[in-house]
Amino acid sequence: MKTPFVKMNGSGNDFVIFDGRAGNGFSLVPQEIRAIASRDNEVTGGCDQVIVLENDDHADVFMRIYNADGGQVNACGNATRCVAGIMEFELQRLPVSIRTNAGLLHGVEKAYTEEGHEYILVNMGEAHFKAEQIPLAVSVAEAAEKIEALTGLKHPQFVSMGNPHVVFFLRFNPGDTTARDESPLFNLEFEKIGPLLEKNREIFPEGVNVSIALLRAASDGLGYIINARVWERGAGLTQACGTAACAMMAAAHERDSSITRAHIWFEPFGTVVTTQVEPNGHILLGGRIEEEFKGTVDV
């Protein structure tokens, strides 16, 4: 059956989005998801995640999220931003509410990139740091020991943004505006470390998103810059990951509570998202979104 979709991206993190709210029981099986997400798919061009919009009794929409490998996941920040844009256009109002398996999220207000591109700032809720909230299969201390033995990386910070993250700050210089050398991000065999940790069920029973990062103060005095590489669970090295950006913001704030705002640069792609911690601990996520094209696909 020919089914319409819209292809969108949030800061380069791209999605094929289906509207399943017509009540016809629209659903996808893993084989279909993998085919839709394949970069060899001549119709969709492939994607990082496949999104299905569904009706919800207590929110404006329910967002079901599938990774490119066919598995369903609970959270995706950049997809939430794209769906917030869809709902704001459809309903002609803000805020809009979006329910996911991780909970209720909100598109709260309009904002603009430096180039003048409009987007919706999304409230991604609070970060969580306890072992059972990530979840970890072992204690935080034991997980850190196992990770160091496997990868040589020290001082992991474990964060849940509705999905599991581990963050490594290779450099953390909140008082320095001049440290612009990104080479530490590329001195590691990240393409090996990422999947090694993602798939290690002895530490992460549900897998994990892996971020390596460098933090410095912004030269304009407005917050901080975090340069990062991210291995996204089920998708691999990513141009941008919204929940990873939030996890890095949360990890930085946990280390230094004065850090409440940061631009996250995803290397080597040069894509950027914005993050900030509100006084209530909620994390706001922003950045450019765009509709690439619409089409139909056989599913």
Domains, the chain, in order of start with CATH, read 2-125+288-298 (3.10.310.10), 131-277 (3.10.310.10)
Q: Tell me how far CA of residue 294 lies from CA of 5, 35, 169, in angstroms.
A: 6, 17, 39
Residues contacting 197, CB < 8 A, separation 6+: 147, 150, 151, 166, 203, 204, 208, 210, 231
Residue 242's pLDDT band, with cuts at 50, 70 and 90, is: very high
Q: Which residues are catalytic?
A: 76, 241
Position 235 scores a pLDDT of: 86
If you average pLDDT over residues 124-149, what whole number do you get? 97
Question: What confidence category does residue 117 fall into, taking pLDDT thresholds of 50, 70 and 90?
Answer: confident
Least confident of 20-24, 194-198, 201-205, 223-227: 20-24
User: Among 216-220, 232-236, 255-259, which range has the highest average pLDDT?
Assistant: 255-259
Q: What is the pLDDT of residues 159-212, one digit of tens each?
A: 999 999 999 999 999 988 876 789 999 999 999 999 999 999 999 999 999 999
Distance CA 72, CA 122 (A): 21
SS (H, E, C) 27-78: CCCHHHHHHHHCCCCCCCCCCCEEEEEECCCCCCEEEEEEECCCCEECCCHH
How large is the angle between the packed helices 242-255 and 77-91, nearest 10 degrees?
A: 120
Q: Determine contact, residues 17/86, Cβ cutoff 8 Å.
A: yes
| pLDDT confidence bin for 1, thresholds 50/70/90 | confident
**What is the structure's pLDDT at 27?**
87
Number of Cβ within 10 Å of residue 56's Cβ equals 16
- Can you tell me the mean pLDDT for 124-145? 97
What is the distance, to the nearest Å, from the Cα of residue 261 to the centroid of all Cα atoms in its chain?
Answer: 17
pLDDT of amino acid 95? 97
Answer for the pair 130, 104: CB distance below 8 angstroms, yes or no. Answer: no
- In contact, 247 and 167? CB cutoff 8 Å: yes
The pLDDT of residue 244 is 97
- The two beta strands, 72-73 and 96-100, are unpaired
The pLDDT value given to residue 221: 74
Average confidence score pLDDT of the chain? 94
- Residue 260's pLDDT band, with cuts at 50, 70 and 90, is very high
List the structure tokens of 82.
Answer: 């794209």
Cα separation, 36 vs 75, whole angstroms:
19
Cα–Cα distance for residue pair 60/87, rounded to 1 Å: 8
- Section 37-54 average pLDDT: 96
Give the mean model confidence (pLDDT) for residues 77-93. 96
Summarize pLDDT for 87-110 with one digit per residue, the tens. 999 999 999 999 999 899 999 999
pLDDT at residue 45 tops 80: yes
| 82 pLDDT above the threshold of 90 | yes
Is 88 in a helix, a strand, or coil? helix
In the chain, pLDDT over 70 holds for what percent of residues? 100
User: For residue 97, what pLDDT is reported?
Assistant: 98
Phi-psi domain of 7 (left: phi exceeds 0; alpha: psi -120 through 50; beta: other): beta
